[in-house]
Amino acid sequence: MRRTALALIALTTFAFACSEEANSPHEHGQPVQLAAGELVDARFEQHEPFKQLGFFYDSADAEILYRVEGSNWKPIDVTWSEDNRHVGRVMLDAPAKVVELKSAKPLTSGFVQFYPEHVGSQVLTKDLPKVEANPVLNGLAPASLVISRAEWGARNPNKVCYSPHTPYRMAIHHTASPDSDGGDPAARMRQMQAYHIDTNGWCDIGYHFVVSQSGKIYQGQSSEERLGTHVGGQNTGNIGVCLIGNFQTQTPSQTQLSAAADIVRWIGNTYNIEFNRTNIKGHREHAGASTACPGDNLLSQLDTIIAMASNGEIPDVPTDEYDVAFDVSWLTPTEDVYQDGTSLDVPDVFAGDVVEAEIRITNNSTRPLRGILLSYLFDTKYLEPVEYRIETDAPEFDKTTFVLNDANDAPENPVLLTGEGDLVMYAMAAGETKRVVVKFNVLRPSIGPNGHPAARAWVRNIDDVYGIQTDFGADPTNMNVIGQPLQGLVELDVLSRDMWEFNGTDSFETEGWIACSDDTNALTIEGGAMVTSGGNACIESPIWTQVNAAEYDQMVLKLAEPALQERASLYFASEGSDVFTGGIGFALRGDLMVIPVGNDTRWVGSIDGLRLIFEGAGTAKIDAIFFQKSDGTTSNDEQDFVDQEPEDVEMLDPTRDPGVRIDDQPKAADITVSEGCSSTPVDSGANGYWLLAIGLLGLVRRRRA
């Protein structure tokens, strides 16, 4: 959208107009904000001619072009850049009243300012040396209170800036634009210093002190005992304190107000300035000022800052006005198929599935929340985060209609989530819900003593409402007006269709394997192995078995100790079949048997039923069952390929009475696979993922010892 800037110049007030040098010969115009999140496409008309433009903007890779009437498009001169933060300027050869701007990509934020003459510095900030750790002039405020210039990476002007003065008053400012510190106040300080030097032509950053949104105080100009450049014509004896934010539209947090009171207290005590509204004013309250700075919402808090500075008391936070809900849940609908032992009431998925979790925070308060930081911890051995997005239900606030939130593109947030970390969520309006949707690849099985793979999340901080919660399960420090920890987790059991390890701790946790008969003592778990008992023991695989016959041509039977029997038989059923269509006999030798199932011509397609019969008396202690391909791959990356020739193998005819499949159970054919997840073919649900078709599967095939 193209626009004309005549009206905007008169109405827009930003802090970089606050920063004017005492007795400055260049009373330049107010900055004009550039549309955030949009392509720059604007035409600006000024009442008075200008010869310089200044740019302060945030963008990942946007290039701003300009042209005055009768000229070609040219890029602006970018004098300073750091990550997505930039400072630029244009020096015109002749005065102009009209300029056009455009960009190929949108800006995150920014403004342009007009100057009647060239005022930019000949020596750019980037060419100045960095401030040393212990310079002669580095401010008098203690390191326990203020972050020094050396710490935030200031550049040294190589000279003492401006004349000495005796402080006797203070001016309170806001930056207005930028309206946030972008999660990195030190970088914002470096950007402000670059703009003040490169574009405004000042000797150094204009403010004496700057207070970030997180309550950190930064030393601005190197000494408060020298003039600053923050109130035009009123800098003598005046110490400038600036709060980052636009407090014409935003409300300063209690954290930021408390930090402002801390530096005001130090200034007052150090220079014997009485704490009152005569000595401590907002920028616009000074004679000759024409600005909205420091914004209505900060100006109205000056009495509070003064009271806190004079007596050190922080006003009580009205706890009854805060109500925050927090929840972590699976967006992917799930079923509890495997219900043995600790797996009861834990939803089940399969290795290879894709699932989504939702971390949701709802501000049911009557006030906005600020400085929201989330932490997360994922069991990445089993759950691999591959995508995430941060969404909001604003402006409807209906808790159901979500769109991407600007926090999704916060520069401090990672491109991909790892096993643990933090997410900046920015502020939330009263009634707003935000959520983080995380997509996981399910990597490998985990049941029994491996625990239930979990996705954990908690609120790490909310300014003025909720102190730092360092870890999941820990109590917030300093403050918690919510009354309870804001945290949650979701768990899963990860089952396998073609690999079983029998690591359960309870005797009946057989990972879905059952005895072929109704003998309830025929199959138990002992010491990390599944144990059969009785002569000619017969066991059958879980109903969710699904082996790709084209991918695997060998089955590995791993015993915890050599079997007492001489031989065993393996029978298998193709997908959807009620009878066993193939079989193979093999000798039991030692504790590892490789069964070449691919030698049986009936081993084709998808195999969804397995039956093992151990011939003779005694027990078999089975440590693991898995599949492998003779070229060296296995059905689980934690199982080594077994390079062993099978012994005494024979193909069996199923008419040798292997018994029929247990006929009162649903077969694997009832469970279909869609997009990497198990789903019902009839109703895929809101997210397209129904995990298992039949909710009673976990009840019908369980045998307990």
Strands (E) located in 537-605: 538-540, 547-548, 554-559, 567-574, 582-587, 592-595
* C-alpha span between 374 and 357 (Å, rounded): 15
pLDDT of 689 > 50? The answer is no
pLDDT tens sequence across 543-577: 899 999 999 999 999 999 887 777 888 999 988 77
* C-alpha span between 468 and 477 (Å, rounded): 5
Q: What is the mean pLDDT of residues 435-461?
A: 87
pLDDT attached to residue 131: 86
Q: What is the mean pLDDT of residues 618-629?
A: 90
pLDDT attached to residue 704: 28
Question: pLDDT higher for 11 or 632?
Answer: 632
pLDDT of 12 > 50? The answer is no
pLDDT of 181 > 70? The answer is yes
Percent of the chain clearing pLDDT 90 (strictly above): 43
User: Looking at beta carbons, which pairs linking 289-293 to residues 24 or more positions away fall under 8 Å?
Assistant: 289/231, 289/232, 289/234, 291/13, 291/17, 291/18, 291/30, 292/13, 292/176, 292/248, 293/13, 293/14, 293/15, 293/17, 293/18, 293/173, 293/174, 293/176
pLDDT tens sequence across 58-96: 988 889 999 998 789 999 999 999 988 999 999 999 999
What's the mean per-residue pLDDT of the chain?
81
Q: Which of 562, 673, 558, 654 lies closest to 611 in space, CA to CA?
A: 654
Q: How confident is the model at residue 28 (pLDDT cuts 50, 70, 90)?
A: very low
Residue 103's H or E segment, with its range, is strand 85-103
Residue 697's H or E segment, with its range, is helix 697-700
pLDDT of 541 > 80? The answer is yes
pTM for the predicted model, two decimal places: 0.54
Size (the chain), residues: 705
Q: Which of 332, 231, 188 lies closest to 685 in space, CA to CA?
A: 332
pLDDT attached to residue 244: 94
pLDDT attached to residue 475: 86
487-491 and 454-461: which strand pairing? Answer: antiparallel
pLDDT attached to residue 241: 97
What end-to-end distance do the CA atoms of the chain give, in Å? 74
Question: pLDDT higher for 116 or 181?
Answer: 116
* C-alpha span between 569 and 567 (Å, rounded): 7
Residue 626's H or E segment, with its range, is strand 621-628
Percent of the chain clearing pLDDT 70 (strictly above): 83
DSSP string, 342-365: GGTT--EEETT-EEEEEEEEEE-S
Q: Are 209 and 218 in contact (CB under 8 A)?
A: yes
pLDDT tens sequence across 356-401: 999 999 999 887 888 899 999 999 999 999 999 999 998 888 999 9
Q: How confident is the model at residue 24 (pLDDT cuts 50, 70, 90)?
A: very low
Those residues whose C-beta lies under 8 Å from the C-beta of residue 560, and which sit 6 or more positions away, are: 527, 528, 529, 591, 621, 622, 623
Tokens of 545: 């078995």
pLDDT attached to residue 603: 92
The DSSP code for 178 is: S
pLDDT tens sequence across 294-308: 999 999 899 999 999
CA distances from 539 to 94, 424, 515, 547 (A): 92, 52, 4, 17
pLDDT attached to residue 399: 92
Weakest mean pLDDT among 5-9, 422-426, 633-637, 657-661: 5-9
Q: Are 156 and 135 in contact (CB under 8 A)?
A: yes
Q: How confident is the model at residue 139 (pLDDT cuts 50, 70, 90)?
A: low
pLDDT of 30 > 80? The answer is no
Tokens of 351: 């290795």
- What residue spans of 249-405 are helical by DSSP H? 254-271, 296-299, 302-311
pLDDT attached to residue 35: 77
pLDDT attached to residue 534: 66
What residues pair up with 57 in beta bridges, in sequence order?
86, 110
Residue 288's H or E segment, with its range, is none
CA distances from 504 to 507, 508, 671 (A): 7, 8, 25
Residue-wise over 552-563: b if at least 16 C-beta within 10 A, else e?
bbbbbbbbbeeb
3-state secondary structure 208-267: CEEECCCCCEEECCCCCCECCCCCCCCCCCEEEEEECCCCCCCCCCHHHHHHHHHHHHHH
pLDDT of 682 > 80? The answer is no
Q: What is the mean pLDDT of residues 13-39?
A: 53
pLDDT of 355 > 50? The answer is yes
- What residue spans of 618-677 are helical by DSSP H? none
pLDDT of 527 > 80? The answer is yes
Q: How confident is the model at residue 34 (pLDDT cuts 50, 70, 90)?
A: confident
pLDDT attached to residue 37: 77
Which domains does the chain show, CATH number per domain?
Answer: 6-118+125-311 (3.40.80.10), 320-495 (2.60.40.740), 499-670 (2.60.120.260)
pLDDT attached to residue 279: 94
**Helix pair 254-271, 302-311: axis angle to 10 deg:** 60
Q: Which of 473, 469, 470, 467 lies closest to 488 in space, CA to CA?
A: 473
pLDDT attached to residue 459: 95
Q: What is the mean pLDDT of residues 679-701?
A: 30
pLDDT attached to residue 36: 77
Cis upstream peptide for 395 (omega within 30°): yes
pLDDT tens sequence across 589-611: 788 889 999 988 899 999 999 99
The DSSP code for 549 is: T
Q: Are 648 and 593 in contact (CB under 8 A)?
A: no
64-68 and 74-75: which strand pairing? Answer: antiparallel
Question: pLDDT higher for 402 or 581?
Answer: 402
pLDDT attached to residue 658: 54
